[in-house]
Amino acid sequence: MLNLWGRELDACYEGRAKHPVFVARAETIHECRIPKEPFADLLVAFRQDQTVTRFETMDNVLAYCRYSANPVGRLVLYICGYTDAERFALSDATCSALQLANFWQDVRVDLEKDRVYLPQADMRRFNVNEKVLLTQHASDEFRALLKYEVEYTRELFAKGLPLIQKVDRDLALDLDLFSRGGLEILNAIEKRNFDVLSARPVISKSSKLMLAFRAVAGKFIPGIRLGVKAAA
């Protein structure tokens, strides 16, 4: 099915689209001058999902994010009229950070699907193996490992934050909301003392309300300041 989807994508860019999804997509592709690469990259990630369930290093995890998460941000930028390398790089940092935050939040959930996104090299460094994950008990070693990954992810969010100041206000508000939401996931993990094995960390209702209020207020209050600190 993924190969079929790939052929349909090729047909779309060759002016031969027949599938309703690609017929509809062709108009947006033409109007926004979107290249085939981000769509093709997503298919690379989907294919990888069929065979790869472990990652040796963080570089390997980020290479996966390059195909699974980063194309989404780039598509948004294309649709909003931005095509420069600087904004793409900042978007990549934000999208990868968001995916990492979800990975750390869902360690237990992913393990039930036989997927481990924690880098194997980091697990060995902190003396954590998959037997520890299966116990659903966060050992001191596991907490140290997850703290390390959370701190790395906060730094990645920080790298992407300047994008908020480099796009129009409507998109900036969305980016600000997404970044704050991702950082709130990291905060929720930290509040549980990095125990994501006994229960899945979630953003509190009060935090969700504050995020929603800020997003709505930003639409109507021109003076509201956008941008968040990595440690927020």
Same domain for 21 and 88? no
Of the pLDDT bands very low, low, confident and very high (cuts 50, 70, 90), residue 217 is low
Q: Which residues span the domain enclosing 25?
A: 1-32
Give whole-number Cα distances, 201 to 28, 162, 187, 229, in Å.
Answer: 38, 27, 9, 21
Question: Total domain count for the chain?
Answer: 2
Asked whether residue 207 carries a pLDDT value surpassing 70, the answer given is no
pLDDT band at 141 (very low <50, low <70, confident <90, very high): very high
Per-residue pLDDT averaged across 97-120, rounded? 96
Same domain, 53 and 28: no
Q: Which of the four pLDDT bands, split at 50, 70 and 90, describes residue 13?
A: very high
Residue 230 lies in a domain: no
What confidence tier does 106 reach under pLDDT thresholds 50, 70, 90? very high
Same domain, 178 and 135: yes
Residues near 178 by Cβ (< 8 Å), separated by ≥ 6?
94, 98
Instruction: Say which residue the tokens 């003392």 belong to.
Output: 193
Statement: residue 202 has pLDDT above 90: no
pTM for the model: 0.89
Tokens 């989807």 — which residue? 5
Mean pLDDT of the chain: 91
Please tell me the predicted confidence (pLDDT) of residue 232.
44
Residue 231 is predicted with a pLDDT of 43
* Contact call for residues 109 and 99 (beta carbons, < 8 A): no
pLDDT of residue 208: 65
Two tokens, residue 63: 């290479």
In the chain, what percentage of residues exceed pLDDT 70?
88
pLDDT band, very low/low/confident/very high, at 222 (cuts 50, 70, 90) = low
- Same-domain pairing of 5 and 57: no
- 91 and 144 belong to one structural domain: yes
Same domain membership, residue 158 and residue 58: yes
* 8 Å CB contact between 116 and 110: yes
Residue 200 confidence (pLDDT):
92
Same domain, 115 and 23: no
Give pLDDT, residue 165.
93
Say if 38 falls within a structural domain. no
At residue 171 the predicted structure's pLDDT band, cuts being 50, 70 and 90, is: very high
